[in-house]
A and B are shown apart, each in its own frame.
Chain A
Amino acid sequence: MKRIFLALLRRILGGFALLLGASFIIYMTVRAAPGDAIDAISPMGTPPEVKAQLMAEFGLDRGPLAGYGVWALRSLCGDFGDSLVFAPGERVMAVALPAFGRTLLLAGGALLVCLCFALLWAACNPGGSRRSQLLGASLYGVTSAPSFVIAVAFAQAVNELVYRLVDARGFVTPSWYPIPIACSSMMPYLFAGITLILSDGLLIDLVNYLRSELQALRRSPFIAAIRAKGARVTGHLLKNMVVPILSAYASRLPVVLGGVVIVEYVFTLDGAGYVLLEASKNRDFPMVVGLSVLFTALVILVNIISDVVKGWLDAREVAHGG
């Protein structure tokens, strides 16, 4: 128990160091920007002393290194600064956290559904047969389209369908129609989720991965032994697939989170991707840095959690990976 606890502690400390490193890279990238926030908001012909005053007000008067130091210290105390342009004066986290929560729900949910589907597919089509080849090929064709293509086509198709079915005949029009309308229902998120599942080759990637893991498992002597005993193997297979499934989830989450940026743009969702795009267009440094750090922190956290769960399920992992 103590060993596991120590390993966990080490893992968390390591994650923290990673977060510092990643935030440093992000902070420096953002500070390297030409055309800073002051130019984006100050009127033409603003005297330099007023600009300097604005710079100080926005905390841009320090050099990048000193600026990072101050930023890191402050954010350690939970103060990520105020938004400059996107939501002037609002605390960064007050905007970023809810938006990020929505995005996480969307990306995490979509990945979960995608994983379940991939698992089913991999189990039912172990590969080799002509039928599964054809199915596989069609899966390639359907799901490797980039998210923006799928999203545009999807929105157009749903609009057209609802228009033909509902609107023209005078039925009650759903509040989420036409896409992309701002509404309080969950429907746009559902559509975005479907788009995420069907695009960017995510599904095919997961199917391939799970299939090869499954195959390796099925060929392993331990399953053969169980089969020789005449017992059902499904339960054992599933139990042993937990670790690969977990690591698939942990490793694909950042990819899906990235893809959300574009999907949110098309479906007019107000998640973290939208905030990130708008804030960086407006050179809202604190917002951009805060949000990117959230993205990174999530990736690190998910990795830690998946390691811990893996270690809990499989003692070898802890001993091996530490």
Chain B
Amino acid sequence: MRFRGNNQKQSSSEASGVKMNRFLSLVLLVCALFGLSAPASAQIFRYPEDTRPASLLPFFAEDMSSVRMVELIFESLVFINKRGDVEGGLATGWEVAPDKQSIRFTLREGVQWHDGKPFTAEDVAFTVHAAQDPQTIFNAKGKYKFITEVQVEGRFSIRFKFDKPINEPERRFTFKIIPKHAFSGTAISRKDAFSRKPIGTGVYMVSKYSLRSVSLQIFPNYWGQAKITGILMQHTPDKSAQINLLQYSGTKSGVQAVVFVPPKNIPLFENSDSVVLEPYHTVSWWYMAYNHNNPSLANRAVREALAYAINREELLEANLGRGDVLSGPFTESSPFYNFEVEPRAYDEQRAAQILESAGYKLQNGIRQKGKEKLEFRFVLDKELASNQSLFLGIQAQLKKIGVSVKPQYVDHARYRELVFSQDNFDLTLNVWSFEEVEDVYPLFHSKGVMNFIHYRNAEVDKLLDQAKGMHDYKQYKEAMKRLHAMLDKDLPYFFLWSLDLYSGISKQVKNVFIQPYYYFTSFKEWELNP
């Protein structure tokens, strides 16, 4: 932007050819200052984000805004294309060994890093070594666990060995590759400057990293092609401001996309002639978690009663828009979803009956069994914007069966502490998002790292352990379907829904395809018409 303004000033001063008078230069200065002379270029794609990308170093890109941006800057060996097939990125080909215990990738030649250095197999090996270094601490470490050995077989050839036979192992190589020469060792710290000045092989390189916005420009030596020459991400925490930016975006202004349009704003764009609502299906589902260390909630009857008392359809419609009500830990688009298990229908009377027969009697509007009162602390993360209104609905519905819930809204850091590390909650509302593979082992196995609800069920453990060892995809699918039915019955969580999400995309943008998780995977093909 700033460049543009200066250029314009120079060219116009040359064109006039004479010494500019004071007035003209003043006007120009004012124009440059206010940016009037430089209308937003049509070739810059702008989009707002709810949160600031915390880190542009792929390992530490844990929030969604970082994930999206990293997708534009870095590349992986392979990626999953629109049709769901594996397509070569930095790798041009691969062979899986007959015993399915290793894979050999042939890498693309002539690829350059953004700083001009060549990309080789050493970089790939370095990425895996760095990820496996115990001193590199990040969330998705588990994704690299299956690799036991890396062999660099040539400048552009690399072999990976696995701990056990894996079906379609190439699907697991969608992690981003980082350059070896940018780091001094395999122990990578969060404080590394690379997270602000990333060097990738992707189509876009960071041209300006400021506090609130990140500008990307097209990498001239990229091996492939892209149509849009520049991208500007701006952190706009206020959702209504994002909607404003899209709504008022004229032909040359505003933003070209809003990643997530809240359901309440959808009518605004439904018949718009400048904005298209693009649906995209994330692999994510909402749940209400019960803390199984709470004696009342350890009682299955109570969990079931709560599940019957909550009217999910009504909550969805009033607060979130369209979505599917679920009965288990998978989305309906997942191969593991068991359609034979019907989601519980809302039934207030039945909920009251269940509590009644479990010995909980209504006293002063609250159900009690002896001294045990059905009063729960509902811990909510403020970062999830719809939590407040959702909670209101849930509170009202639970009140009808004599269960009282008290809200505790906390910020994200405190939420993690209360719910995930201190076990200091009774109920909570949250969303799990998955990349492609829905692995629920860590959620429900009694030894699972993400089993923050302290769920213990020997049968479930057994099934999960069995499934982990399965090599046959069909068998695994069946096991997951059985798990689905089991979890529906035992209710470790109350599985709520998966949402139909919509992005608002300006009609100037053509050829849009949104990848559910990484979002910008096919951005190379997007076009921006002025």
* A-to-B contact residues, CB < 8 Å: 34-37, 39-46, 50, 53-54, 57, 82, 84-90, 95, 99, 155-156, 159, 162-163, 167, 170, 172-187, 190, 265-266, 268-270, 274-275, 278, 281-283
> Taking the complex as formed, is B522 at the interface, i.e. its CB lies under 8 A from any CB of chain A?
no
B241 touches A180 (CB 8 A): yes
Residues on the B chain within 8 Å of A82, using CB:
191
Contacts A/B (CB < 8 Å), 19 sampled: A35-B417, A39-B416, A43-B137, A44-B139, A45-B442, A85-B54, A90-B193, A155-B241, A159-B244, A167-B248, A172-B36, A173-B250, A175-B253, A176-B34, A178-B254, A181-B254, A265-B237, A266-B241, A274-B212
B35 touches A181 (CB 8 A): no
B196 touches A268 (CB 8 A): no
Residues on the A chain within 8 Å of B210, using CB:
270
- Which residues 12-63 of B sit at the A interface, judged by CB distance below 8 A? 33-36, 38-40, 46, 52, 54-55, 60, 62
A89 touches B211 (CB 8 A): no
**Residue in B5, B139, B245 whose CB lies within 8 Å of A178:** B245
Q: From residue A285, how far is it (CB to closest CB) to chain B in Å?
A: 12
**Contact segment of B160-168, B228-236, B312-320:** B228-236
Residues on the A chain within 8 Å of B458, using CB:
none
Which DSSP category, helix, strand, loop or mixed, fits chain B's interface?
loop
Nearest A residue to B134 via CB reads A50
Bound CA–CA A176/B245 (angstroms): 11
Q: From residue A277, how far is it (CB to closest CB) to chain B in Å?
A: 9
**Residue in A84, A173, A265 whose CB lies within 8 Å of B39:** A173
A178 touches B253 (CB 8 A): yes
> Taking the complex as formed, is B411 at the interface, i.e. its CB lies under 8 A from any CB of chain A?
yes
Going nearest first, the 3 A-B pairs with the smallest beta carbon separation are A185-B35, A89-B191, A45-B449
Bound CA–CA A275/B211 (angstroms): 8
Q: From residue A37, how far is it (CB to closest CB) to chain B in Å?
A: 8
- If A172-B39, A178-B249 are given as contacts, then 19 extra A-B residue pairs at C-beta distance below 8 Å, sorted by A number, are A34-B414, A39-B413, A40-B412, A43-B139, A45-B442, A85-B54, A89-B193, A90-B196, A167-B250, A174-B36, A174-B253, A178-B247, A179-B244, A181-B234, A181-B255, A182-B46, A270-B211, A270-B213, A274-B211
In the complex, which of the residues A36, A40, A184, A281 has the most CB atoms of chain B within 10 Å of its own CB atom? Answer: A184
Residues on the A chain within 8 Å of B212, using CB:
182, 268-270, 274
Encode contact with A along B187-206: 1 for CB under 8 Å, 0 otherwise: 00111110110000000000
> Taking the complex as formed, is B519 at the interface, i.e. its CB lies under 8 A from any CB of chain A?
no
> Taking the complex as formed, is B421 at the interface, i.e. its CB lies under 8 A from any CB of chain A?
yes
Q: From residue A83, how far is it (CB to closest CB) to chain B in Å?
A: 8
Nearest A residue to B139 via CB reads A43
**Residue in A88, A159, A184, A281 whose CB lies within 8 Å of B248:** A159
Given A99-B211, A174-B36, is A268 in contact with B235 using a C-beta cutoff of 8 Å? yes
In the complex, which of the residues B193, B234, B248, B411 has the most CB atoms of chain A within 10 Å of its own CB atom? Answer: B248
> Taking the complex as formed, is B1 at the interface, i.e. its CB lies under 8 A from any CB of chain A?
yes
**Residue in B52, B139, B250, B414 whose CB lies within 8 Å of A35:** B414
